[in-house]
Amino acid sequence: MGRLVRWSYCLVGAVLLALAAMAASRPAARLDGFNVIAAPDHPFGSASADTALAQAKRLGASAVAIIPFLWQSSPTSPTIVRGSDMPDETLRAAIRQARSAGLAVIVKPHVWVPQSWAGAVAPMSENDWSTWFAGYRDAMERIARIATEEHADALAIGTELEKTTRRPEWQDIVTAARAAFSGTLTYFAHNTEEAERIPFWGHLDAVGVTLYPALGADGDRAGRLTKMRVVADAIDVLATATGKPVLVGEIGLRSAVGAAAKPWESVEERDSAPDPSLQADVLRDWITVLDRPAIRGVLIWRWFTDPKAGGPTDTDFTVQGKPAEDVLRCAWRKQCSLR
């Protein structure tokens, strides 16, 4: 009897080890979906936001990025604070609502700088750098705790802060975030050029990158594809060098004439006639080119909590109510060919 019991324990142990090995060998679930922005009169937690998230899920999205903003008055200001757009309870509501819709959640803080952008942030003195990082760490620790408590799947410790990321203080940010958050940690670099200079990838779980390279004339598809492949090849090299999977935190462009030349350009920067077909074509090309083993997810910029946002005459980034929806349905639901 003793031998039989020992043999049974050995058999159970072997089975458990085999199951663990099988689980470890399975590829991680992809995180494809949208950066979701709360529209006026459609806050997270509302019925209309429920509808908008359900629409994203029906397209085949598996994940969304929720974006709490931090704010500073100028690129050189040492004072950085949480923005008023997403206080703690709103962030909690956003994560809960997305999870209830069956979507994985990446919490992806952005820094808002009036008339500028996060990539310009650069305090002027060592004291100012210390003050800025102390404020940033305080905000990130609070966001990280909420992300853990609400069971978010991933947390970005920053987005496109390219003038800051060579600073040694980032190791403290990583350590603080790791202590507060139990899921996947990443950072979203601005294009592959910043990503190649990041010194702390080894302390994170995934390489993150946003992609807004200039793509040339709207009608030059061959040139556009060449530029995209150069970017994708650089991502492959980065994945090999770091040994990390890659999350593309943003691709996108306006549904507007001339948008391919400057995919980052906003409605406020340039007025233009609508061109929803251009947006659809560029996203189709991006998704095709980024279909590589190293890339574990692609998030589109952007999707609003207003289920009636967008439409064929809209010239903003949202893909809602535009031909780009069909492109994404095709890619994510695997019901047709993108090529």
Please list the residues that pair with 107 across neighbouring strands.
66, 155
- Give the DSSP letter string of 310-326: --TT--SS--TTSTHHH
User: Nearest CA to 282 among 333, 231, 239?
Assistant: 231
What is the pLDDT at residue 25? 33
What is the pLDDT at residue 190? 98
What is the pLDDT at residue 206? 98
Q: What is the pTM of this model?
A: 0.91
Cα-flanking dihedrals φ and ψ of residue 196, to 5°?
-70, -15
- Alpha-carbon distances of 186 from 149, 203, 319, 327, rounded to whole Å: 18, 9, 26, 27
What is the pLDDT at residue 336? 78
- Alpha-carbon distances of 261 from 86, 192, 214, 250, 266, rounded to whole Å: 32, 18, 5, 17, 12
Report the greatest alpha carbon distance in the chain: 83
Contacts of residue 131, Cβ cutoff 8 Å, sequence gap at least 6: 78, 79, 123
Copy the structure tokens of residue 182. 């139990």
Phi-psi region of 110 (alpha: psi -120 to 50; beta: other; left: phi over 0): beta
User: Nearest CA to 81 among 123, 134, 149?
Assistant: 134
What is the pLDDT at residue 29? 85
Can you give the C-alpha Rg of the chain in angstroms? 21
What is the pLDDT at residue 253? 97
By three-state DSSP, how is residue 250 classified?
strand
User: Nearest CA to 156 among 130, 188, 181?
Assistant: 188
Q: Where are the domains of the chain?
A: 30-333
Q: What is the pLDDT along the chain (339 residues), one digit of tens a residue?
A: 444 444 444 433 433 333 333 333 334 689 999 999 999 999 999 999 999 999 999 999 999 999 999 999 999 999 999 999 999 999 999 999 999 999 999 999 999 999 999 999 999 999 999 999 999 999 999 999 999 999 999 999 999 999 999 999 999 999 999 999 989 999 999 999 999 999 999 999 999 999 999 999 999 999 999 999 999 999 999 999 999 999 999 999 999 999 999 999 999 999 999 999 999 999 999 999 999 999 999 999 999 999 999 999 999 999 999 999 999 999 999 877 555
What is the pLDDT at residue 19? 33
How many Å apart are CA 302 and CA 299, to the nearest integer? Answer: 8
State the CB neighbour count (10 A cutoff) for residue 294.
Answer: 17
What is the pLDDT at residue 334? 83
At the top level of CATH, the class of 30-333 is alpha beta
